[in-house]
Amino acid sequence: MSMNAQQPVPSPAAAEVYNFPPAEGDAPSKRNRWLKPGLIALAIALAGAAAWQAFGPAAAPPAAPASNLPEVTVLVPGTTMLADAITAPGSIAAKRDAAVGVQGEGGRVVRVMVEPGQRVGAGQVLAQIDRQVQTQEIAQLSASVRQAEAEARLAQANLARAESLVAKGFISRADIDQRLATRDGAQARVGVARAQLGAARERADRLDVRAPAAGLILSRNVETGQVVGPGTGALFRLAEGNALEMRAQVAEQDLARLKVGMSAVVTPVGATEGFKGKVWLIDPVIDPANRQGIVRIQLEYTPGLRVGAFARARIEGGETTRPLLPQSAVLADANGNFVYVLGKDNKVERRSIEVGAISDAGVGVASGLTGAERVVASAGAFLKPGDTIKPVLAAPATR
């Protein structure tokens, strides 16, 4: 007891050092005093953040990492010396299409002597028309000619005898004049009879349907037994000189590059080989509906060429320097041919082009590219304007 009584009582400062909990009834600590205001401030901040997320501007989506962009092969085509060729569609026709019909009175056809595809000479008989009536008329007129000639000879003999007797005074001069007039009249009748006979023979000859010139029979529109006349129409169609042509439809902008005499190759639909020809005429009129003109390419007849057939012509126009692209880079839709090029930030852009010569080496670009652009080499069907890609530059082609 005496020992406890002698121990000193701890002071309040010592309680703070040892961090003893306050006794009941003491004042709240400093931490408890700031706890409630802190919770209120935190609640206000959370409410403000929720309101900003709900009503504030939408945040831009994060950009795709470069590693996620599709890799697409692109190329810089540059320029290449290419054959300046123009390809155009068209149809094959006769260069000079002659319609052959009845020249004379007409009648019943008794014989057709040619078939389509056969070559004929100038004046060759193509068909014969019945001429029995004309034959009888010719025989009658031939007899009239012989009769007139006999009368003329008799008149000439009478005149000669009279002239031998006039000097002896047996015949007067008036008788001589009368016999002279009789002789002249008989000779005139001979001329009339001969002219009538010639006209009859000409009418009979006109019953033969003849070729006006050498050429190729394109069509036959008459059969044996058919009655024909001047109003029947063409019995045959003839390509004069065996010459055909292709009437190629060429765009207005390409006509200025063409000249008469340029070489061309015409390939009919379904044919495996082309036929050589030359431009012989460029029509001076352009169709206002489709802005195209007609270029006529002369061709020599070959069994593989058929009048009316559809064909495609390749007209050689020398050489020119143009960009050359692989066929996989050139796309087409309702608006025409186009390619995809890379713009700023490797974004895909559509570029319309005009296609020039097409060959195994690629597609020549007549307009729309300079050759310095980065062009999508393939996979264009899977892209659209505005897409961002990761370009992979293709190795330059060896030319």
pLDDT band of residue 230 (cuts 50, 70, 90) is confident
Residue 399 bridge partners (DSSP): none
pLDDT at 4: 44
CB neighbours (10 Å) of residue 81? 11
Mean pLDDT for 304-315 is 89
Decide if 52 is inside a domain: no
- Shared domain for 111 and 152, answered yes or no, is no
Give percent of the chain above pLDDT 90: 26
Whose structure tokens read 């000097």? Answer: 167
Q: Decide if 114 contacts 217 (C-beta within 8 A).
A: yes
pLDDT for the residue numbered 15:
45
pLDDT of res. 17: 42
* CATH, residue 140: 1.10.287
- Tell me the percentage of the chain whose pLDDT exceeds 70: 82
Give the pLDDT band of residue 395 (cuts 50, 70, 90). Answer: confident
Same-domain check for residues 364 and 329 = yes
CA atoms within 13 A on the CB side of 115: 0
Q: What is the pLDDT of residue 89?
A: 92
- Please give the mean pLDDT across all residues of the chain: 81
Q: Compare 165 and 239 and report the one with higher pLDDT.
A: 239
Q: Are residues 192 and 251 in the same domain?
A: no
Is 272 or 52 the better-scoring residue by pLDDT?
A: 272
346/222 same-domain check: no
Are residues 191 and 222 part of one domain?
A: no
Residues 235 and 245 in one domain: no
The least confident of 35-39, 69-73, 116-120, 170-174 is 35-39
Q: Is 56 a member of any domain?
A: no
Least confident interval from 84-88, 167-171, 185-189: 167-171
- Whether 221 maps to a domain, the answer reads yes
Q: Is residue 398, in this structure, part of any structural domain at all?
A: no
Whether 232 and 361 map to the same domain: the answer is: no
The bridge status of strand 292-300 relative to strand 243-251 is: antiparallel
337: containing domain:
71-84+322-393
pLDDT at 116 over 50: yes
pLDDT reading at 338 higher than 90: yes
Q: Tens of pLDDT along 278-303?
A: 999 999 999 888 889 999 999 988 88
- How is the beta sheet containing 324-325 ordered, strand by strand? 324-325, 362-367, 354-359
Q: With a cut of 70, say whether residue 23 has pLDDT above it.
A: no
Specify the pLDDT at position 396: 60
Q: Are residues 252 and 310 in the same domain?
A: yes
**Boundary residue ending a domain (221, 240, 259):** 240
Q: Which residue has the higher pLDDT, 177 or 42?
A: 177
Asked, for residue 192, whether it belongs to a domain, the answer is yes
* 356 is a domain residue: yes
Which run of H or of E encompasses 376? strand 375-376
Q: How many domains does the chain have?
A: 4
Predicted local distance difference test score (pLDDT) of residue 48:
64
Query: In CATH, what number is assigned to the domain containing residue 333?
Result: 2.40.420.20
Of residues 175 and 121, the one with the higher pLDDT is 121
Poorest-pLDDT segment among 85-99, 284-298, 357-371: 357-371
User: What's the rounded mean pLDDT across residues 48-69?
Assistant: 59
**Boundary residue ending a domain (277, 299, 316):** 316
Let me know whether 288 and 231 are in one domain. no
Mean pLDDT for 333-360 is 86
> What would the two tokens of residue 128 be?
């014969």
Tell whether 216 and 339 lie within a shared domain.
no
* Domain co-membership, 177 together with 195: yes
31 within a domain of the structure (yes/no): no
Chosen domain end from 265, 281, 316: 316
Statement: residue 393 has pLDDT above 70:
yes
* Residue 237 to residue 211: CA distance in whole angstroms: 10
pTM: 0.53
Question: Is residue 26 domain-resident?
Answer: no
Asked if 248 contacts 89 with a C-beta cutoff of 8 angstroms, the reply is yes
Residues 312, 250 share a domain:
yes
Which segment of 31-45, 144-158, 254-268, 334-348 scores lowest on mean pLDDT?
A: 31-45
- Beta strand 310-322 with 348-352 is unpaired
